[in-house]
């Protein structure tokens, strides 16, 4: 992930705002990236500006160590550092519409644990629909084992010592302009724009982390 230390900047999307049409509209992508993510970045920078002792920590270190910080900082760091991390991870996990399916190590593990990509997508969809209010659905690695989990608000799997592979933002601002209150339609459209190359890279990185411990 680029720009992993203070001061944080809003790095450009790896594709145009309209690249995910017709599944996610250009206006949603613009507002999601340039307004929502920018707000989290601005808030995080302001917090760190006032707390220079935290400026040498990476984005991931800020998240993982949030519970060890003074109580007055814990919630604001968790929310805003999490907001930056989760949004960047989500945007990197999308790609121009394609018919690509999982391949490589991630495909082998999905077949092993979920028996088929169809079963996996069904389970992931159920998890995403189960999020009450705002949050995310995630595919993560737990010491190499794939798990589907959800997190509330801007919490991340990093806090649970899990290695993220893929995520879906189910905050209403991620889909409401196009899909209104039909979260299921948004999830169905997301299936067409999953960046499986990125998911494969993330899973391989998770496996490397295990081998280095």
The per-residue pLDDT for range 8-21, each reduced to its tens digit, is: 999 999 999 999 99
pLDDT confidence of residue 165: 98
Sign, CA dihedral 70-74-75-81, equals positive
Over 70: is that where the pLDDT of 56 sits?
A: yes
The answer to whether residues 93 and 195 touch, using CB atoms and an 8 Å cutoff, is yes
Sign, CA dihedral 70-73-79-85, equals negative
pLDDT confidence of residue 34: 98
What mean pLDDT is predicted for residues 44-61?
Answer: 98
In 3-state terms, what secondary structure has residue 166? Answer: strand
Distance CA(75)–CA(137), nearest Å, equals: 21
pLDDT digits (tens, 9 = 90+) for 99-136: 789 999 999 999 999 999 999 999 999 999 999 999 99
Over 90: is that where the pLDDT of 212 sits?
A: no
103-111 own/partner pairs: CB under 8 Å, 24+ apart: 103/196, 103/200, 104/200, 104/204, 105/200, 105/203, 105/204, 105/207, 106/165, 106/196, 106/199, 106/200, 106/203, 107/200, 109/144, 109/146, 109/203, 110/146
The answer to whether residues 55 and 81 touch, using CB atoms and an 8 Å cutoff, is no
pLDDT confidence of residue 210: 82
Over 70: is that where the pLDDT of 72 sits?
A: yes
pLDDT digits (tens, 9 = 90+) for 129-167: 999 999 999 999 999 999 999 999 999 999 999 999 999
Provide the percentage of residues in the chain whose pLDDT is more than 90.
95
pLDDT confidence of residue 213: 62
Delineate the domains of the chain, giving CATH numbers in brackets: 26-92 (1.10.287.990), 104-212 (3.55.40.20)
pLDDT confidence of residue 100: 83
Cβ partners under 8 Å of residue 191, min gap 6: 121
pLDDT confidence of residue 211: 72
What mean pLDDT is predicted for residues 34-63?
Answer: 98
Rounded to the nearest integer, the mean pLDDT of the chain is 96
Q: How many residues does the chain have?
A: 213
pLDDT confidence of residue 2: 84
């Amino acid at each position: 992930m680029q720009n992993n230390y203070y001061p944080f900047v809003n790095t450009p999307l790896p594709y145009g705002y309209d690249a995910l049409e017709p599944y996610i509209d250009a206006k949603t992508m613009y507002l999601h990236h340039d307004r929502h993510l920018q707000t989290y970045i601005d808030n995080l920078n302001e917090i760190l500006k006032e707390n220079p002792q935290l400026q040498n920590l990476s984005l991931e270190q800020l998240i993982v160590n949030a519970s060890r910080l003074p109580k007055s900082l814990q919630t604001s760091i968790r929310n805003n550092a999490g907001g930056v991390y989760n949004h960047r991870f989500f945007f990197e996990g999308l790609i121009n519409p394609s018919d690509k399916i999982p391949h490589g190590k991630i495909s082998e593990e999905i077949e092993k644990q979920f028996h088929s990509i169809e079963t996996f997508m069904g389970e992931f969809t159920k998890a995403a629909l189960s999020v009450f209010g705002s949050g995310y659905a995630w595919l993560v690695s737990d010491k190499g084992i794939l798990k589907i989990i959800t997190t509330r608000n801007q919490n991340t799997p990093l806090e649970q010592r899990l290695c993220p592979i893929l995520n879906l933002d189910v905050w209403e601002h991620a889909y409401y302009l196009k899909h209104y209150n039909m979260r299921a339609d948004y999830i169905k459209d997301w299936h067409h724009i999953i960046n499986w190359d990125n998911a494969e890279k993330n899973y391989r990185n998770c496996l490397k982390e295990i081998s280095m411990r």
